[in-house]
Structure 1
């Protein structure tokens, strides 16, 4: 099952979830109606039937209103992304510049996973008061996701074990479980509101002035009934939540092992939960509503089978030990200590330091070399991260110059990195104009940081540019709106100084602002474009890919048509015999509309893009970066596929 099929499955589960909760709400309406009808029947003392369409309509309207308001309010609160969930759980944001050894290890593991998975580096939170071993992922999209861990997760786990836990959480990020989990929180909150209102009415009547004892007794009985019905509905909601959650945990465990190729890391983490006095328990009062988000069972249940949000530790460990050999293809990684030492060693093959590995002809060779690629593998690569991608991410982080690593720890350094990436390395005159502009408009603190790192960009492996953008995101998310707008304006000025937007500048700028958009320009999903609109936007995107990839005009048209044939409905259309007029701005506008298409349509779009780029079964760095950028802008997690082919 590939990424898009997982996304389709998540959408089907959302529909199924709505169906189950609709049944629960209908049951609550009928139960509350029965109570109200009986109370009215006793009060009026009529011989008429208990069935009253008017009362049923009033009850249904009020129940739906209460549940709708409760769920809607909660979901609106959660629109702020994973940071809202982390705050409600009392978690603390880990600053990227932290000097704490355990926190730095955690950040390093998260960065490795993000680069390997091709997603934005999530913010990381720690629950300082939680001694148990647990972790969670929360957010609506890959760009606003966060990772949270307990203090026990840091202090009790070895690096390989922590890596397994974080890989498990990244699976939830990639496969769309987070959005489903947040909707679960919202709907259950709406049902719980019925119980809360019943309790409030009971409290007011019990403590209010004494009036007609008979009427008061009836109201108390009705309040108790509503309270009980609301609680039963809440219990049903918890059962539904737990059943859905349990199904996803086995998949996340298997995906984590596929990424790390180290089932012992994850299974040992589960064993430590079983051995620890606190286990995976979360003590904060708000843990119940978020219990399905966690890596392990967060709260105790009086009936573990019905209300457990996770399979038992024993069952999860047995599944890990009995995974089919196909899941564990490739060599098992060395122990964490050996791997870390190897990555830091200048003698490591392929990691020979800044001067040897990056300067020694690699940069020019990458620009010229084309690589043969299996065309059908591109779609399968999306969301399908394995140990080769993880090894590449670890190597990349080890190769980064220390000056860049230091700059990544604060906002001034990250802004300097962004400016450095956009300085023209080909034209000396343009570069001098760009530097003169920065000198006139940037504070000395930013300029000093830029001068410290600017030499690094002269020797930087071109493949590291996009990952370096991703590594700045956790810090840049915290810029003020004014600073963000200033950064945006500065980049536009640097680009304009060169006369036109280059392909390299486009890929960097597009990915940077797409990653930051949820924090400065929140985008709420809108209605999917029509088939006609989707077709026209695909004409633009595929034309752009063909123009970039092929110098020969006829070959570009053939590649363009090859991509179009992969789109739904192409067999019923006359394919254009020339490329559409296109520029980078029109590609950006088309992608903004295509991001709202369904997973199944996105799969066809990505497949069409791959067939256009790889029409000749070869790809160079320029083509690969544009293809990867387009896939990122469609909100699809794409691992660094080109880097792992050599």
Structure 2
């Protein structure tokens, strides 16, 4: 199952969840009505009970979902998480940041915010948020102290699979659903306590007390059934996340080692969570509450280990427990002993290097990075000049840095862009952006532009909302300085705009698309025309062939003439919203069509690969840093 199929499955799971929630609500309402009728024999009381129960469930769910409107940050804070600073000096925190940055770059998504649950000695972690733009990854202090680098990579890769497969949004909805049912039980208990307190003074307290008892019991029964449903959904998603982590890292030892340490150490994966553990248990890497059977949110530990190492048995786990009881493992020391602290990294490709690619292979890469992508991500992080990485971590420098990535090399256009920055953010920021741009031109490989922006994103989204609004206005002004904008500059500006706006209001901007290709022919044609023209600016005939190659992939029965827009890349403003609303499987074909257009001449260079990666990011189809090459002799485009 690839990314697009996972997204379609997540959408179906979300729809099933809402259906089951509606059935659960209907069951609870009918049960409450029946209880009230038995006690009162009053139709008016039954109608009032129905309205009150629906209101309590609905308002309770809406309240809990609204309380999580900040996305992953809200969940991490409620569990007692402490943000990890960008310039953390502690070795364990630096190692965590390095691992997360490598995984994010390999996945083609912004680097998430990091939290540590300092008071938690168990080994656990979670990813939370509505989308990759507002995601956070949190790990316990036990995971930092006990896991070596390979094991930490396995855990982080597991959590990133939840980010990429659309699980996070479903997980937050589950929190709201369960809270709504819990409120019914709590309301019944509160009325019951009030009725008991006033029973001596109120002769009519008996029927009220009995009705409240019925409501409370029914509420808890509904909550019990909902928790069983949550656990079943969670177990299936956890098995998938384990498999995805292995596919990502191409080794089982790291993830299996982390699971063995959970089983072998006394603290296991238990989580205190400031009283919220049960509520978020389905988000965790390991079982946070110690439940089993129908209520277990994760498959049995031995089952998970055996899926990775089929010969492992319980006796081996007991021996590990005995050894670690005397000398608990130290993750950083294991790194030194196993030689994991530093590794040789492969060389980045030359700027002019071009490769043959297969559209199907590229679409299969979306949100499904492999071992090569992991290695390349390490090379990218290692190749970024330390001075630029320091700028990406600096709250005062992050905005000038990102604006510098958008500045053009043409002096006349650059002057207009500088004036736009000055109007919005002042001369100091404009001058700083220009100095950084000169540094980027001298020191930065083109393949490193988007990864550098990804590293800067966690710092950017910590800026005050008002300042971010001004920054986004400056980005758009720079992109539109005189209408002569390269496709890369336009798309990078758009990508920044999309990610920042989603981070500001995550619950509002993210949804699973449902549109079909037949309803967006015009948008398909416009995007392909712009891409074809940008890649073949000096050869109209080649641009037309590129356009037709892409169109043949996605709309083979339609005859839409090649008509590049007069306003160039700025015409793309009309296509993003309709194309982002596509059904996930339609997006897969769209990615393949763009590859067909870009690779119509038989090769794709680094700049074109980065262009494709940026477009995919705007359309929420994160693509790893380098494209999968086509096997020798494979046809990569149609004539």
Name the TM-score, length of structure 1 as normaliser: 0.86
Deviates more, 1:619-628 or 1:149-158: 619-628
Identify the match of residue 590 of structure 2 among 587, 593, 605.
605
In the alignment, which residue of structure 1 is the partner of 2:31?
31
Question: What is the rounded CA distance, in whole Å, between the counterparts of 1:430 and 1:168 in structure 2?
Answer: 45
- Report how far residue 564 of structure 1 moved: 2.5
- Report how far residue 406 of structure 1 moved: 1.9
Question: What is the rounded CA distance, in whole Å, between the counterparts of 2:71 and 2:293 in structure 1?
Answer: 31
- Report how far residue 548 of structure 1 moved: 1.5
Identify the match of residue 351 of structure 2 among 366, 369, 372.
366
Identify the match of residue 393 of structure 2 among 397, 409, 426.
409
In the alignment, which residue of structure 1 is the partner of 2:634?
none
Unmatched tracts of structure 1, length 5 or more: 45-51, 324-333, 352-361
Alpha-carbon distance change, 236 to 279 in structure 1, aligned in 2, over 3 angstroms: same
In the alignment, which residue of structure 2 is the partner of 1:251?
240
- Report how far residue 381 of structure 1 moved: 1.1
Question: What is the rounded CA distance, in whole Å, between the counterparts of 1:175 and 1:491 in structure 2?
Answer: 30
In the alignment, which residue of structure 1 is the partner of 2:82?
92
Q: Is the Cα–Cα contact under 8 Å of residues 502 and 509 in structure 2 kept in the other structure?
A: no
Alpha-carbon distance change, 257 to 477 in structure 1, aligned in 2, over 3 angstroms: same
Question: What is the rounded CA distance, in whole Å, between the counterparts of 1:439 and 1:79 in structure 2?
Answer: 34
- Report how far residue 257 of structure 1 moved: 1.2
Q: Is the Cα–Cα contact under 8 Å of residues 131 and 169 in structure 2 kept in the other structure?
A: yes
Question: What is the rounded CA distance, in whole Å, between the counterparts of 1:3 and 1:623 in structure 2?
Answer: 22
Q: Is the Cα–Cα contact under 8 Å of residues 248 and 374 in structure 2 kept in the other structure?
A: yes
The residue correspondences of 1:297-336 to structure 2 (distance < 5 A) are: 297-301=287-291, 304-322=292-310
In the alignment, which residue of structure 1 is the partner of 2:610?
625
Identify the match of residue 347 of structure 2 among 336, 347, 350.
350
Question: What is the rounded CA distance, in whole Å, between the counterparts of 1:319 and 1:629 in structure 2?
Answer: 36
Question: What is the rounded CA distance, in whole Å, between the counterparts of 1:495 and 1:148 in structure 2?
Answer: 35
Question: What is the rounded CA distance, in whole Å, between the counterparts of 2:563 and 2:269 in structure 1?
Answer: 60
Alpha-carbon distance change, 403 to 315 in structure 1, aligned in 2, over 3 angstroms: same
Q: Does 1:386 align with 2:365?
A: no
In the alignment, which residue of structure 1 is the partner of 2:453?
469
Question: What is the rounded CA distance, in whole Å, between the counterparts of 1:181 and 1:279 in structure 2?
Answer: 23
Alpha-carbon distance change, 115 to 5 in structure 1, aligned in 2, over 3 angstroms: same
- Report how far residue 23 of structure 1 moved: 2.9
- Report how far residue 410 of structure 1 moved: 1.6
Query: When the two structures are aligned, how many residues end up with a matched partner?
Result: 603
Question: What is the rounded CA distance, in whole Å, between the counterparts of 1:397 and 1:151 in structure 2?
Answer: 25
Q: Is the Cα–Cα contact under 8 Å of residues 123 and 474 in structure 1 kept in the other structure?
A: yes
- Report how far residue 97 of structure 1 moved: 1.8
Alpha-carbon distance change, 339 to 629 in structure 1, aligned in 2, over 3 angstroms: same
Identify the match of residue 132 of structure 2 among 132, 142, 146.
142
- Report how far residue 583 of structure 1 moved: 2.2
The residue correspondences of 1:130-529 to structure 2 (distance < 5 A) are: 130-208=120-198, 210-213=200-203, 215-283=204-272, 284-301=274-291, 304-322=292-310, 338=339, 340-343=341-344, 350=347, 366-367=351-352, 369-425=353-409, 427=410, 442=426, 451=435, 454-492=438-476, 494-495=478-479, 500-520=484-504, 523-525=508-510
Question: What is the rounded CA distance, in whole Å, between the counterparts of 2:491 and 2:549 in structure 1?
Answer: 24
The residue correspondences of 1:114-129 to structure 2 (distance < 5 A) are: 114-129=104-119
Alpha-carbon distance change, 349 to 94 in structure 1, aligned in 2, over 3 angstroms: closer
RMSD, matched Cα: 2.9
CA offsets per residue over residues 213-269 of structure 1, 9 Å max, x none? 4x3122111111111110111111110000000011111111111111221111111
Name the TM-score, length of structure 2 as normaliser: 0.87
In the alignment, which residue of structure 2 is the partner of 1:356?
none
Q: Is the Cα–Cα contact under 8 Å of residues 392 and 643 in structure 1 kept in the other structure?
A: no
Question: What is the rounded CA distance, in whole Å, between the counterparts of 1:499 and 1:614 in structure 2?
Answer: 27
Alpha-carbon distance change, 597 to 577 in structure 1, aligned in 2, over 3 angstroms: closer
Q: Does 1:18 align with 2:18?
A: yes
Alpha-carbon distance change, 608 to 39 in structure 1, aligned in 2, over 3 angstroms: same
CA offsets per residue over residues 519-539 of structure 1, 9 Å max, x none? 346543578568665222112
Alpha-carbon distance change, 591 to 439 in structure 1, aligned in 2, over 3 angstroms: closer
Q: Is the Cα–Cα contact under 8 Å of residues 366 and 621 in structure 1 kept in the other structure?
A: yes
Structure 2 counterpart SS, 1:136: strand
CA offsets per residue over residues 357-402 of structure 1, 9 Å max, x none? xxxxx7xx524x4321122212111111111011001111111112
Deviates more, 1:19-28 or 1:185-194: 19-28
Alpha-carbon distance change, 9 to 316 in structure 1, aligned in 2, over 3 angstroms: same
Q: Does 1:534 align with 2:535?
A: no
In the alignment, which residue of structure 2 is the partner of 1:330?
none
Question: What is the rounded CA distance, in whole Å, between the counterparts of 1:532 and 1:259 in structure 2?
Answer: 34
In the alignment, which residue of structure 2 is the partner of 1:563?
550
